[in-house]
Every structure is written in C-alpha cells, then in structure tokens.
Amino acid sequence: MLTMNYKNAYRQYNLKTNKNNITDESFSIHKHQQQEHKKIYIRKKSDGLICRICEGPAHGYNFDTISCESCKAFFRRNALRSNRKLVCRANDGQCIITVTTRKQCKACRLAKCFEKGMRADWILTDEERIKKRWKVEENRRRLRQILCPNSFESDESSYIPLKNEPLENQDIKFSPVLFPIVLSSEDLNKIKQIQQAYIDSVRLTSLPPSIPSYPHIVRIDTPLDMLNFPVNIQASRLITYFKLLPEFSSLNDNDKLILIKYNTFTLVFIRLALNYNPLNDSYHEHDTNDCAFSGRDFIQCFSLHQYAQSTRSIVRLLDASQNDRLITQILLIIILFSKGSSICTYIDEAEPIVQDIISIYYAQNIFIDLLWKYCEMKYGYRKTIHIWLKLVTSSIETHLQAYNIRLNYVKNEFIADQLVPLMKSVTLIV
C-alpha cells in the first residue's frame, strides 16, 4: 500500500514539475503552425513552375499553357485585337523573349504565346466574364446559407459588377481551367447530408452514465481507462456517422465490417481534431453538454513523449484543415474508404480482401471530388493545393500515432483482455 502511494505521489510530482514544459511545448507547436501558415499565404510563391513564354515564375495554367500573370494579362489584351497588327521592328520576328526582354517586342511575345499553345478561343468576353462571376458569387451565397443558416447577408455580399466596370484588377480567384469551380445542387445537398449525419451521430450516441462525473470521481489515468471511455465513445460516434451515409450503407456487410475494423482506430485521432481546443489543451464535443477531457490525460495513460507526438499531429491536422469542420468531416469519409491504408505489421493483422472494391473506389471518389470543389470554391485553387498536401501528410502522421499506441500500449495481454468488445475489434485484438 505504501509502495503504491509512493508511486502515485512520485507520478504526481513529475506531472507538476513538467506541467510548464508540457504547456510550453503544446503552445509552441500551435504557434509554430500559425506562423508557418501565415508565411505561406502572405507571400506569393511560384510553386516551382516556369512560364513557357518568358521563363519567369509561374503559378499555373492560363489559356491552356503554363504561364506567369504578366504573360497571361498580355495575351488577354492582345490576342483578339485584329484591328491593329503588331510588327517586330528589331529582329524581323526573331526576338528572344525572357523576363527582362518580354516588354521590348509585343509582336514576338504574342507569336511565342501562340507557339507555346495559348488559346485565344478561351478568352471570355465581358458578358461571359460577368456571367461567370455571377455564378461564383451565387454559389458562394448558397454555400454560406448552408454553413451559416442563421446569418444575414448584406446587399454588398451579393453585389454583381456591371458590364461597363473594369474586371482586370479585381481580386477574383478562378480555377486555372476554363470555367470556375461551381458546386452543383447535388454537391450542396451532399454537404448538408454530411453535416446532418455528423450531428445525428453525436445525438444518437450518448456518453455512458459514468463519464459525466469525470474528472471529479471517474479518473482517466491508465491506457485501459482511455480506451474504454473517451476513445470508445469517439469510435461509436464515428461508426454511427458512417452508417448514416448512403454510400457506406449501400456496401455489402462484409466490406463494411472490414473498412470499419481496419480504419476506425486511426480515424478516432482525426476526429479528435474536431473536438480539440489548443488554448486550454482539452477535448470537448462541439455543441453538446458533454464534459471536456483534459489532453494531459494522455501523459498519465501513456507517456509524455506520446502526448507530445499525438498533440502535435492533431494541431497539424487543425492547421491543414484551416480549422474548417466540414473539411475534417469529409476527410474522415475519404480515409474510411481508403482500403489498405491501415498500418498492419503482423501476420494475424493482415487486412482481408474486400468483395466489391469498385463500389468502395467509386464512393471514395464522390467525396474526394466534393472536398476538392468545396476547398477550391472557398479558398481558391492555389491555397487548395497547399491544404491537400497538408491533409495528406497530417493523415499519414495520425496513422503512425494510432499504430504506435496500439503497438506499445494496447497489444498487452492485461489490457487486451479487459477492453470492451468494440475496442478489441478496432485495435485488431480480435
């Protein structure tokens, strides 16, 4: 008894002495991510692309050719002006066009634009551009109504430029393809369906009676406590969420079981990003009266190192998703349909072959397409590329953290035998 009290006192002492270090590390992670995010989007970057006309830094395709903003604007101004012919007055049409010489000869620059594949038929008239702008603004308005149904829009938010107003200098972020990204009515309905499914999954899966007394009576200080209480409720709500989606419900029972069993434990870590507050290091289910779980329970249940690694991966996921709940909600579905993405290193954990991989692949592509269109519509093309790259790397990191916890703390005979049935299944004990 004395030995146990001594161990508890020693553990509490260690927690107290490391408390400031833990807090500093958690906030330094969050601060670093904010600074990194600010640097990326304040400065314009070329993304490594080279303009095929002047060989300067480029940002994407314009009129079907990789080109810089300067050559894009030049081509738009001059490609359709047949009333005046541009003439090379220096080198008989043989001028070398570079970043430094591109303004010296308009004739040779325009000729090179056509030579490199820029298409004049992709240049829109003022009427076409106004119509395109109207479609984008109308789609954004509808999207705002879905995401913020109780907000009121001002007249300025639905403003559409008149025909005689110049559009050249307006900050409009269009897709690098011919037409802007516009979410269809089907896409908007799918977004509503996803959001409602998530809300219903929380409503239909309530906390066990013993949990509301946390942290005053029920403590979480062992891996078994962590897995059987907060992780169990997270997994239950995830599974309910997926069952409410028609694309998942339409699969055969065998394939649904495989996807749930081999992906849920990792998805719990991704779902935690929807509940995490980095300012006070706590987890609380959004828009509920559930109790808030302390992030420092990870230290008592696992280790300081595992706490730091898990918290870092969740903060990075928050940064990758722009703290946009819908992005994370769709990401959960995409990863669920990622057959074979789980990290299994033991022979007895080999992931079975599904019966209808085509249906799984098709369902996943529905949500991949939706997530891309939503991000591009809301954040613009270039920022969407950065978001997707971060989402991929963050997802890989959460897979690794889930694997480490399962390997180092769950694959233990004492813990495995006392897990609730759902946890035994998603941690691949049975």
What is the chain's pLDDT, residue by residue, as a tens digit (430 residues)? 434 443 343 333 343 334 444 444 444 544 554 555 444 443 444 457 899 999 999 878 888 899 999 999 999 888 887 556 788 888 888 899 999 999 889 999 999 999 999 988 888 877 777 777 777 777 777 776 666 665 544 444 444 343 444 433 333 344 444 445 678 889 999 999 999 999 999 999 877 666 667 776 677 889 999 999 899 999 999 999 999 999 999 999 999 999 999 999 999 999 999 999 999 999 999 888 888 899 999 898 999 999 999 999 999 999 999 999 999 999 999 999 998 887 766 666 788 899 999 999 999 999 999 999 999 888 888 899 999 999 999 999 999 999 999 888 888 778 888 999 999 999 888 7
Co-location of 108 and 144 in the same domain: no
CATH number of the domain that residue 104 is part of: 3.30.50.10
Q: Cα(199)–Cα(237) distance, rounded to whole angstroms?
A: 10
Across 215-230, b (16+ Cβ under 10 Å) vs e yields: eeeeebebbbbbbbbb
Classify residue 48: in a domain, yes or no: no
Co-location of 237 and 150 in the same domain: no
Co-location of 209 and 309 in the same domain: yes
Classify residue 359: in a domain, yes or no: yes
CA-angle at 127, arms to 123 and 129, nearest 5°: 50
Provide the 3-class DSSP secondary structure of residue 318: helix
Give me the pLDDT at residue 43, please: 41
Classify residue 165: in a domain, yes or no: yes
Co-location of 35 and 19 in the same domain: yes
Structure tokens at 85: 């012919």
Classify residue 395: in a domain, yes or no: yes
For the question of whether the overall pTM of this predicted structure is more than 0.85, the answer is no
Co-location of 255 and 383 in the same domain: yes
Co-location of 297 and 260 in the same domain: yes
What single-letter DSSP state applies at residue 183?
Answer: -
Give me the pLDDT at residue 9, please: 38
Classify residue 73: in a domain, yes or no: yes
By residue range, what is the domain housing residue 138?
Answer: 126-172
- 60 alpha carbon, distance to own chain's centre: 21
Co-location of 246 and 354 in the same domain: yes
Strand pairing report for 65-67 and 60-62: antiparallel
Structure tokens at 96: 């070398």
Is there a contact between 274 and 194 (Cβ–Cβ < 8 Å)? no
Provide the 3-class DSSP secondary structure of residue 152: coil
Count up the domains in the chain and report the number. 3
Classify residue 8: in a domain, yes or no: no
Co-location of 273 and 351 in the same domain: yes
Task: Write out the H or E segment, with its range, that includes residue 137.
Answer: helix 126-147
Measured in residues, the chain has a length of: 430
The last residue of a domain, from among 106, 140, 172: 172
Q: What is the DSSP string of 27-87?
A: HHHHHHHHHHHHHHHHS---TTEE-TTT--EE-EEETTEEE-HHHHHHHHHHTT-TTS---
Backbone angles phi, psi at 58, to 5 degrees: -120, 165
Strand ranges, E, within 329-420: none
Co-location of 274 and 359 in the same domain: yes
Say which residues have a Cβ less than 8 Å from residue 214's Cβ, sequence separation at least 6: 220, 229, 291, 293
Classify residue 113: in a domain, yes or no: yes
Co-location of 118 and 136 in the same domain: no
Give me the pLDDT at residue 412, please: 78
Task: Identify how many contiguous H helices and E strands the chain contains and give both numbers.
Answer: 16, 7
CATH number of the domain that residue 388 is part of: 1.10.565.10
Give me the pLDDT at residue 388, please: 94
Give me the pLDDT at residue 254, please: 95
Classify residue 180: in a domain, yes or no: no
Backbone angles phi, psi at 160, to 5 degrees: -120, 130
Burial class (CB in 10 A: 0-12, 13-18, 19+), 160: exposed
Provide the 3-class DSSP secondary structure of residue 282: strand
Co-location of 412 and 317 in the same domain: yes
Co-location of 117 and 132 in the same domain: no
